[in-house]
Amino acid sequence: MEMNSSVRLSDLSSLIRSLKAPVTAIAQDNKSFIAGDSEGMVSAWAVSDGDLLWTIDLEPSTSSIAFADGVIAIAHGASITAVNPDDGALVWAIPVDGACDFVAFDGQSLWVTSSVYEIEIEDYVACRVMRIEPHRGRVQQSFSLPSKAWTLDAFGQGCILGLGRPQPGIYTIKSGKDELQHLENTPRVPISCSSSSLDNRMSFTTSDFYAIQIDQDGKIIDTAKNAVLAGFTHDGRWITYDQNGGVVNAEFLDEGLNGFPHHLTSTDEMTLSVTRKPDSSGAISIGKIRMTWMHSSEITIVHSHSDRTLLGCLNGEIFLLETDVLKRRIAKSEFSDGDDSSIRARLRMLRFGDKSNNLEEK
Q: What is the spatial distance between Cα 50 and Cα 60, in angstroms, rounded to a whole number?
A: 26
Residue 323 burial (CB < 10 Å; 0-12/13-18/19+)?
Answer: buried
| H-run or E-run covering 99 | strand 99-105
CA distances from 302 to 155, 208, 264, 265, 313 (A): 20, 23, 8, 7, 9
Instruction: Name the amino acid, one letter, at 146.
Output: P
Q: Is 324 helix (H, G, I), strand (E, B) or coil?
A: helix
Q: What is the spatial distance between Cα 74 and Cα 71, in angstroms, rounded to a whole number?
A: 10
Which residues of the chain are modeled with pLDDT < 50?
253, 343, 346-347, 349-362
Q: What is the spatial distance between Cα 254 and Cα 273, in angstroms, rounded to a whole number?
A: 8
Q: Which of 102, 99, 46 is nearest to 74 (CA)?
A: 102
φ, ψ for residue 96, nearest 5 deg? -130, 165
Q: Which of 68, 36, 45, 42 is nearest to 55 (CA)?
A: 42
- At residue 287, the pLDDT reads 81
Q: Can you give the residue ranges of every domain in the chain?
A: 1-20+262-362
CA distances from 213 to 155, 160, 183, 224, 275 (A): 14, 13, 12, 9, 22
- At residue 329, the pLDDT reads 83
- At residue 64, the pLDDT reads 98
Q: Using the 8-state DSSP alphabet, how is residue 226 labeled? A: S
- At residue 247, the pLDDT reads 74
- At residue 215, the pLDDT reads 97
Query: Residues 43, 55: contact at Cβ < 8 Å?
Result: yes
Query: Residues 24, 61: contact at Cβ < 8 Å?
Result: yes
